[in-house]
Amino acid sequence: MSRGTEKVLSRWLPPARMRLVFAGAGALLVFNLVVAAFGHGPAETLGRAFAGTWGTAYGMGQVLFKATPLLLTGLAFHVALRSGLFNIGTEGQLALGALVAGWLGPMLGGLPWPIALPIVIGAAVLVAAAYSAIAGLMRARLGVHEIISCIMLNRCVDVFLPWVLVAGLGATALRTDDLGPEARLPGLETWIPALSGSAVSVAFPLAVAITFGTYAWLERSRAGREMRWVGLGATACEAQGVDVRRRQVQAMVLSGALAGLVCTGTVLGYKGYYELGLGAGAGFSGIAVAMVGRSGPVALVAAALVFGTLAQAGLTINAQVPKEAMNVLEAVVILLVAAASGVAGKERAAVVVAEDDPAEESA
Amino acid sequence: MSQLLSVTTLAETLRIAVPYACAAVGGVWAERSGVIQIGLEGVLLSSAFGSVAVAHATGSMVAGLLAGVLLGVGQSALHAWLVERTKIDAVVSGIALNLLAYAATRMALRALYDSSSNSPGIEGFRVGPMGSEGWQLLARVLMDPVSVLAFIVIVASPWVMRNTRLGLRVRACGENPTAAQAAGIDVSRTRVIALCISGAICALGGVHLAFDQHRFEAGMSGGRGFIALAAVVLSGWRAGRAAVACIAFGLLEALQIGLQDMARTSQAATLIQLLPYVATLLVLGLGIGRGAAPAGIGQSPE
């Protein structure tokens, strides 16, 4: 490619847009290959997938419902990544948060909703943030890489949850009791009758608001700015007197807090209880969302909608093509986008340089 | 108690430990070359599937074994290629490949066998006595061809890494890629080779898992790749010790199965499963063996 074309290309396709185009083209290609492999016409299947998602008001509602947890996990992952940390522990954090919501919710019967809702949501956020803080503290104070600790913490939750449901809460069907109406988030169908029957609740607009709020906070507040600086160059920050370790812990805690909201929205807005396995895999899908939509809040919401569409489309064509095909797509998209943009390359490189051993330093 | 400490338990321990140990030793090979590999779980899963699919189609267990190993090598090499050539972050690549293996095996299960949970049964290797207890079981576990292969590569790994030119190069790339390159070693190539070895050894574990169950089940790796990762960290990135840690995990699991058989009351027994993870967190947190990790892990030569 000549210099000139490259220039034109980069004007029309800035990296942010390039990522989306790349992801879309790659996903479409793999989708067609998979569909063809199962002996169906790609056009016909695509039509069916479209009809089940954006074709009807119900389908749209389902897409928004699927996009809600993806948006929040994407945001959670993004926040940690901005300060150069990989929070791959969202998977465990979101399960813990949802469990707390499902456990606490039924106990608040009789309280008016303006009191009950904040308590339930707050508790879920608190527990998830505290769990995430373990990884953050271990990274910042003990120099333990957050990836290993997050994997171990995720696995601990996997073992712990069934045990606590059976032994701790005495649940027989691996789920919590039903939530009372005071701890529920209303469905969007209350206001938009066209969405009736779909699972989308006010959790979606709330998640969008939280996304914009978090981005604004990262841009405007001092703490948020310093977190981003740490991601760009921890050594330079240290030299400038920024408390790098404190900011790293804060970023992990904030990321965990957001992860705590992920399935709480599903529990309060749709399910009405927590059951084992709810939201499984959302943590990893969130990584895909964060990568595709990392250039800003609008891009993040758009990416969540894209992956939400994929998830819902997978369900509508499940009879013809296994819905796991959409997870295959997701994996391919992650790799394509990562390859196209050198994802996190800059942030991570900066941190690797500054990755010091606290023990060595104090010695 | 005597029921727990028996030849049967010993045999069960070894049988359970094989996939763990294979994955862990594979992990050591990858990480000693400087490539972060959290995709062991995916390698276990796809090699298990590949071996069952080919064994079922051809009726030849040897062909199944080869196919499983090849698939493991391919997936592991793909990880190396993505990390070394396209410069994708190794963590991202590992997560994506895990997801890919999980989804693709389920998809293929539907495509080939029209089932969402498991494949039809396969014969597996049938060597040794048929009894399911005591010495007979132990003899069968020890004579199982996949276990024997696994045993050989696991025992050979530390020696190869310590004493051969290849081992030295792999370690050099993991400890200081810049210096290795200055010494004339092609770092990327060495890492790809190390990842191929890693994939082959890890895949043996996947094949063992599938042949042992005589079929493939969706998600049958069940987190073993992550336990193996814990063993890698606990061992200080040393193959021999990682294998020993895996045998300890195998013993825990065997005891747990024994306990559940004896009394169905022990809910707390499930909490034993936490042990590998908590131990890893503690070892890392307390800084035991700090600095044991390859110094150049995740770095490219400058």
pLDDT tens digits for B184-243? 999 999 999 999 999 999 999 999 999 999 999 988 988 899 889 888 988 888 999 999
Selection from A12-21, A132-141, B20-29 with the highest mean pLDDT: B20-29
**pLDDT attached to residue A353:** 38
User: Quick check: is B33 in a domain?
Assistant: yes
**pLDDT attached to residue B171:** 94
Minimum-distance CB partner of A335 among B93, B274, B281: B93
Q: Per residue in A216-228, pLDDT tens?
A: 999 899 888 888 8
The answer to whether A304 touches A289, Cβ cutoff 8 Å, is yes
Asked if A343's CB is within 8 angstroms of B89's CB, the reply is yes
The closest of B237, B218, B222, B204 to B273, measured between CA atoms, is B222
**pLDDT attached to residue A198:** 77
Q: Per residue in A237-292, pLDDT tens?
A: 888 888 888 899 999 999 999 999 998 888 888 887 888 878 777 888 888 888 88
The terminus-to-terminus CA distance of chain A in angstroms comes to 53
CATH of the domain at B82: 1.10.3470
Q: How far is B271 from chain A (nearest CA, A)?
A: 7
Q: B251 CB near a chain A CB, below 8 Å?
A: no
Contacts of A142 in chain B (CB under 8 A): 284-285, 287
Minimum-distance CB partner of B92 among A38, A159, A343: A343
User: Quick check: is B276 in a domain?
Assistant: yes
Stretch A73-97: mean pLDDT, rounded? 91
The answer to whether A166 touches B266, Cβ cutoff 8 Å, is no
Contacts of A325 in chain B (CB under 8 A): 103, 107
Chain B, window 277-296: residues with a beta carbon less than 8 angstroms from a chain A beta carbon: 277-278, 280-281, 284-285, 287, 290-291
Is the pLDDT assigned to residue A214 strictly greater than 90?
A: yes
Q: How far is A363 from chain B (nearest CA, A)?
A: 14
Stretch B1-24: mean pLDDT, rounded? 84
**pLDDT attached to residue A350:** 41
Q: B222 CB near a chain A CB, below 8 Å?
A: no
User: Quick check: is B250 in a domain?
Assistant: yes
Residue type at A282 in one-letter notation: A
User: Quick check: is B299 in a domain?
Assistant: no
**pLDDT attached to residue A17:** 65
Residue A131 has phi, psi (to 5 degrees) of: -65, -40
**pLDDT attached to residue A347:** 43
- Grouping H, G, I as helix, E, B as strand and the rest as coil, residue A359 is helix
Contacts of B230 in chain A (CB under 8 A): 152
Asked if A143's CB is within 8 angstroms of B92's CB, the reply is no
User: Quick check: is B301 in a domain?
Assistant: no
Averaged confidence pLDDT in chain B: 87
Q: Closest chain B residue to A139 measured between Cα atoms?
A: B285
Q: How far is A156 from chain B (nearest CA, A)?
A: 6
- Rg for chain B, CA atoms, rounded: 19
Minimum-distance CB partner of A339 among B88, B99, B106: B88
**pLDDT attached to residue A344:** 43
Is the pLDDT assigned to residue B265 strictly greater than 70?
A: no
Stretch B280-285: mean pLDDT, rounded? 82
| Domain range for B245 | 7-285
Contacts of B270 in chain A (CB under 8 A): 159, 162-163
The structure's pTM equals: 0.84
- The residues, ordered by sequence, that sit 6+ positions from A111 with a Cβ below 8 Å of its Cβ are A119, A182
CA dihedral for A228, A231, A236, A238, sign (positive or negative): positive
Kindly list the structural domains of chain A, giving each domain's residue range(s) and its CATH number in brackets, ordered by start: 67-356 (1.10.3470)
The Cβ of residue A110 has, within 10 Å, a number of other Cβ atoms equal to: 8
Asked if B291's CB is within 8 angstroms of A357's CB, the reply is yes
Structure-model confidence comparison of residues A302 and A166, the more confident one: A302
Which tokens hold the place of B181? 């390159």
Give the C-alpha separation, B29 to B194, whole Å: 6
Q: B89 CB near a chain A CB, below 8 Å?
A: yes
Asked if B103's CB is within 8 angstroms of A334's CB, the reply is no
Q: CA torsion, points B86, B88, B94, B97, in degrees to nearest 10?
A: -50
Query: What distances in angstroms separate CA A49 from CA A313, A314, A323, one per listed residue?
Result: 5, 8, 11
Chain A, window 145-174: residues with a beta carbon less than 8 angstroms from a chain B beta carbon: 147-149, 151-156, 158-160, 162-163, 166-167
Averaged confidence pLDDT in chain A: 81
**pLDDT attached to residue A9:** 61
**pLDDT attached to residue A88:** 87
User: Quick check: is B295 in a domain?
Assistant: no
Residue A279 has phi, psi (to 5 degrees) of: 80, 5
Number of domains in chain B: 1
**pLDDT attached to residue A362:** 33
User: Quick check: is B270 in a domain?
Assistant: yes
User: Quick check: is B294 in a domain?
Assistant: no
**pLDDT attached to residue B164:** 95
Chain B, window 11-70: residues with a beta carbon less than 8 angstroms from a chain A beta carbon: 36, 38
Q: How far from the centroid of its chain's Cα atoms is residue A170's Cα? A: 30
Q: Closest chain A residue to B274 measured between Cα atoms?
A: A156
Is the pLDDT assigned to residue A159 strictly greater than 60?
A: yes
Minimum-distance CB partner of B107 among A86, A160, A325: A325
3-state SS, one letter per residue, for chain B: CCCCCCHHHHHHHHHHHHHHHHHHHHHHHHHHCCCCCCCHHHHHHHHHHHHHHHHHHHCCHHHHHHHHHHHHHHHHHHHHHHHHCCCCCHHHHHHHHHHHHHHHHHHHHHHHHCCCCECCCCCCCCCCCCCCCHHHHHHHHHHCHHHHHHHHHHHHHHHHHHHCHHHHHHHHHHHCHHHHHHCCCCHHHHHHHHHHHHHHHHHHHHHHHHHHHCCCECCCCCCHHHHHHHHHHHCCCCHHHHHHHHHHHHHHHHHHHHHHHHCCCCHHHHHHHHHHHHHHHHHHHCCCCCCCCCCCCCCCCC
Stretch B172-180: mean pLDDT, rounded? 92
Q: How far is B267 from chain A (nearest CA, A)?
A: 7
